[in-house]
Structure formats: C-alpha cells, structure tokens
Amino acid sequence: MAIERYGKLDVLVNNAGVAPISLLDELRVDDWEEMIDVNLKGVLYGIAAALPVFRRQSFGHLVNVISTAGIQIIPTMAVYAGTKSAVRTITETLRQEAGDKLRVTSVSPGFVRTNLTNSMTNPEVKGQIVERMGKMAIPPAAIARGIAFAIEQPAEVDVNEIVIRPTAQA
Amino acid sequence: MSGIKGKVVVITGASSGIGEATAVLLAERGERSYWEREALIALRLWQPASQHRAGRRPMHAQTSNGGKTFSIWLGWQSSDTASWTFSLTTLE
C-alpha cells in the first residue's frame, strides 16, 4: 500500500507488540498465542512484506522494536521474552543475510511510558508493572529518537543494535 | 540517501506509545511517514474479512490489485480488543 501510494518503501518499523504476561502455571494459552501472533508472527509478516520490496529497490531498512525483556530474563515474562528473544535472533540472521544494500536495526526499550500494560490480562502482574512504570518509565520519545538516529545515518552506516533503558532501571 | 527527508516509513502499532512517538518525530523532521491512523482510514474503506478467535475480531484488509498481499499486525485496540492488520502490497 505504501508502495502504491508513495512508489517506494525506505523503512519498515516493526513496532506493534502486546504483553499479556503471567506465570506459566496459569496456563493462559490464549495469551501465549496472542503474543506469538503479534510479537513474533507480526514481525515475520512484516519481513515477508518488506524484504522483496527492499531487494527489488536495492535499498531498504528494517527496524525491529524488541524489548530489554529479550535480554534480561525474569519470571512472568516467559512467552513475552521468548517472542522477543526469537525476534532478536531473526533480526541478527536477517542482518547477516541482508548483504551490502539493506540495513537492519534492532531497538530494545526498557520501561517506557506506554499503554502496553493495557494488554496485560493478569491484574496482579499488571499492577506490579504499572507501579514500576510509574517510578522509572521514560517517555516514548526517548525511543523514537533512537529509531530516528538509526534511520538518518548515511546508507553505508548500519546501526545494528540500540538498547535504551531508564537510568533508574537495573 | 541519508537523513530523514523524503523517506517513506511504515510503522506498525503507531496508534500510541513508541510507534506514535516515532511517527510524530519523523513527521516533524520532514518524513512522509505512513502510519496507523492513515492505515486505519484505509482499512475502513475496504471490506474487512472478519474472523473470530477468543472473542476478538482480527481484521484483514485486502487490496484489489493483482499484487501479492501480506498482512502486518498493526497492534490492537484495547477498548474493544479488536486487532488490526494492514496489508502492504508488493507490486510485481
């Protein structure tokens, strides 16, 4: 659609994500599927849509927004972190396969003030995350600046990985 | 091409949070960023094929031309838990 309308695609930012996190014991299978559908398959569909376009153009930039949950493993985040770890692996593989024309960037935010907690289905877990967010979360613009930094580099410069946490986040 | 100006960017999940902030920042810097609000307008123009899973209504937009069509998750609306998908058509 972007191609039809604008004739090209320079960057795809795979940013959409959900986080209905919980302990594995709760067996919230629907939530697991939701996270895999949006966080993992959504990114793959994005790659499937954009990669042929980028190849044809001989330019393009794929930016995947992951999460520090893909780096730091903590209870309740098994499936969420699993999807993020998977996206990290896929992103790095794509970077190596991309060749000398396409750029691939992963951006991993820590606690950011967003409505991601709206997607959390376990009230207790949600309460804990909301409380931590209230204490330390940084504004979404902090991550946006990181994404813009990667995009605005000259074509031969590929910013591979960016991790942005609140200063107060351990 | 370096810099921001003139680039076409598709951002999924741009109705709020990081996606929205990125769209706004890029737009401020001269970006022609193509983001969810615009996509949602386009979605409403098309006939969505509704599917039901766990009470949700995933929406799949299809374009009418003959190119390959893929769906991209854009995020979802927490108010009525509707999921939105957005098709990026690649012209053969």
pLDDT in tens, A123-137: 998 999 899 888 999
3-state secondary structure of A132: helix
Chain B residues with CB under 8 Å of A53 CB are 88, 90
Confidence of residue B55 (pLDDT cuts 50, 70, 90): very low
Reported confidence tier of residue B48, pLDDT bands at 50, 70, 90: very low
Structure confidence at residue B36 (pLDDT): 43
The reported pLDDT for the residue numbered B25 is 80
E strand or H helix at A145, and its extent? Answer: helix A140-152
Would you place residue A166 in the very low, low, confident or very high pLDDT band (cuts 50, 70, 90)?
very high
Q: Which 8-state DSSP code applies to residue B4?
A: S
Phi, then psi, of B91 in degrees rounded to 5: -85, 125
**A42 with B12: Cβ contact below 8 A:** yes
DSSP strand E in chain A: where?
11-14, 60-65, 102-109, 161-164
More confident call, A99 vs B33: A99
Put simply, the answer to whether B91 touches A4 (Cβ < 8 Å) is: yes
Backbone phi and psi for residue A64, each to the nearest 5 degrees, phi listed first: -105, 125
| Reported confidence tier of residue B2, pLDDT bands at 50, 70, 90 | low
Task: Enumerate the residues of chain A whose CB falls inside 8 A of the CB of residue B51.
Answer: none
Domains along chain A with CATH numbers: 2-164 (3.40.50.720)
* B38 pLDDT above the threshold of 70: no
Q: Which site among B2, B5, B10, B70 would you substitute to test the A interface, given the most A Cβ atoms closer than 10 Å to its Cβ?
A: B10
Residue A2: pLDDT band with limits 50, 70, 90: low
> Active-site residue A80, yes or no?
yes
Q: What percent of chain A has pLDDT over 90?
A: 59
**Contact status, residue B33 vs residue B27, Cβ threshold 8 Å:** yes
Query: Does A40 contact B at CB distance below 8 Å?
Result: no
In this model, does residue B60 exceed pLDDT 60? no
Instruction: Assess A20–B contact: CB distance below 8 Å, yes or no.
Output: no
Backbone dihedral angles phi then psi of residue A94, each to the nearest 5 degrees: -60, -40
**Exposure class string for A140-152: b at 16+ Cβ within 10 A, else e:** bbbbbebbbebbb
Measured CA to CA in angstroms, residue A142 lies from A12, A23, A145, B49 at distances of 19, 30, 5, 37
Given a contact cutoff of 8 angstroms between Cβ atoms, the answer to whether A22 and A78 are in contact is: no
Indicate the residue of A13, A141, A154 with minimum beta-carbon distance to B11. A13
Question: Would you call B91 helix, strand, or coil by DSSP?
Answer: coil
Task: Answer whether B9 sits within 8 Å of A15, measured CB to CB.
Answer: no
Checking if the pLDDT of A139 tops 90, the result is yes
Q: Give percent of chain B with pLDDT exceeding 90.
A: 0
Q: What is the mean pLDDT of residues A93-120?
A: 93
Confidence label for A37 from pLDDT (cuts 50, 70 and 90): confident
Binning pLDDT at 50, 70 and 90, where does residue B62 land?
Answer: very low
User: Looking at chain B from residue 5 to 64, which residues have their Cβ under 8 Å from any Cβ of chain A?
Assistant: 7-14, 16-22, 24-26, 29, 32, 34, 39, 42, 54, 63
Q: How confident is the model at residue A43 (pLDDT cuts 50, 70, 90)?
A: confident
Residue A37 is given by DSSP the state I
User: Per the CB < 8 Å rule, is A11 touching B8?
Assistant: yes
User: Which tokens belong to A89?
Assistant: 């692996």
| Residue A26 pLDDT > 90 | yes
